[in-house]
Amino acid sequence: MSEQPEYFSKQVLRTRRFFIHKKNARKATPASPTWQLAAGGCEWCAPDFIIDRQTFPYVAFEFVARGSGSLCLAGKRHELSAGHAFFYSPSTPHVIESSAHEPLVKYFFNLTGEGAERLLAELDLSSGTLLRVLDAVRVTMLLEEVIDHALRSTPTSIRSANCALHYALSLCADSQQAATMKYDPGYATYLRCRGHLLRNYPVIHHIAQAAKHCHVTAAYMTRLFKRYDTETPLACLVRLKMSQALIKLRQPETQVKAVAAELGYKSSAHFSRAFKAWSGMAPQHARSRKN
């Protein structure tokens, strides 16, 4: 992984970059995708960072994590800021320039293979486009995973990197907005809080605990949910716990005590009261209800 391609910019303050040697690339099979990662990483751009290319060897995806700058893509000029994603093909002219006052921190990933452009087209992320990603925090986490896997440089880890990138691209497609939409830090914080609940609800005992992990107060977290959601964070947490409990309780020979412990309740009595308040029935009766 020490080899550095010529196109890797030297106008950077710090990097986490990788280049995948052919010997570590996934071998194509009839059932496998016809694209794969060739290189990528994260770049902390210098104030004088500028890339000016008429052609490029790969299909590319770039994502702005922090900072600002400008982009000229297929002859159209755009302003860049956190949450912007853009895509270009080997034949797409592009100029990427960082702001000197607020230098860009951006991720880039280069794809190779005949299916690379088809992948973007299927996700409606066509070459030559710029968009705003709403769930920028989650995308950033996934792109860090891509780099972590790729830097391990084994065939299995490269396969994992490809899967993580596919997931990140799908999330970009799912949460894309017009590039001119202003970045809303409050919405980004809401998504981070909601994502924390979705991923960790079994071990979250109360909203104050979740809020502390997300570096906000419980009151602010509640205001964010009131603004952007249809339920409070507490209602979301209870729903997640009880929905999972219902699935568990319908399994043969499942014990209420075990389900209560798995979902973070101190006692089966506490869990039973919460479950009945949510579902209208006692946990012991849930097994006989199939709908």
What is the structure's pLDDT at 33?
A: 60
- In this structure, are 88 and 165 located in the same domain? yes
The CA distance from 60 to 116, in Å, is 9
- In this structure, are 96 and 230 located in the same domain? no
What is the structure's pLDDT at 29?
A: 46
Decide which of 160 and 24 is more confident. Answer: 160
What is the structure's pLDDT at 175?
A: 82
Nearest to 103 by CA among 13, 184, 9: 13
Please check whether residue 67 lies inside any domain of the structure. Answer: yes
Number of domains the chain is built from: 2
- In this structure, are 226 and 191 located in the same domain? yes
Summarised one tens digit per residue, pLDDT across range 46-104 is: 999 999 999 999 999 999 999 999 999 989 999 999 899 999 999 999 999 999 999 99
What is the structure's pLDDT at 288?
A: 60
* Average pLDDT of span 157-178: 92
Cα dihedral across residues 203, 193, 222, 225: positive or negative: negative
The CA distance from 255 to 217, in Å, is 36
| Helix (H), strand (E), coil (C) string for the chain | CCCCCCCCCCCEEEEEEEECCHHHCCCCCCCCCCCEEEEEEEEEECCCCEEEECCCCCEEEEEEEECEEEEEECCEEEEEECCEEEEECCCCCEEEEECCCCCCEEEEEEEECCCHHHHHHHCCCCCCEEEEECCHHHHHHHHHHHHHHHHHCCHHHHHHHHHHHHHHHHHHHHCEECCCCCCCHHHHHHHHHHHHHHHHHHHCCCHHHHHHHCCCCHHHHHHHHHHHCCCCHHHHHHHHHHHHHHHHHCCCCCCHHHHHHHCCCCCHHHHHHHHHHHHCCCHHHHHHCCC
What is the structure's pLDDT at 1?
A: 46
Summarised one tens digit per residue, pLDDT across range 6-35 is: 899 999 999 999 999 765 555 544 445 689
Please check whether residue 29 lies inside any domain of the structure. Answer: yes
- In this structure, are 66 and 143 located in the same domain? yes
Residue 254 has pLDDT above 80, yes or no: yes
* Average pLDDT of span 150-161: 92
Decide which of 248 and 287 is more confident. Answer: 248
What is the structure's pLDDT at 202?
A: 93
What is the structure's pLDDT at 22?
A: 67
Residue 2 identity (one-letter amino acid): S
- For residue 208, the domain's CATH number is 1.10.10.60
Residue 241 domain boundaries = 185-288
On average, the pLDDT of the chain sits at 90
Please check whether residue 55 lies inside any domain of the structure. Answer: yes
Residue 136 has pLDDT above 50, yes or no: yes
Summarised one tens digit per residue, pLDDT across range 123-133 is: 999 899 999 99
What is the structure's pLDDT at 180?
A: 76
- In this structure, are 16 and 121 located in the same domain? yes
What is the structure's pLDDT at 35?
A: 94
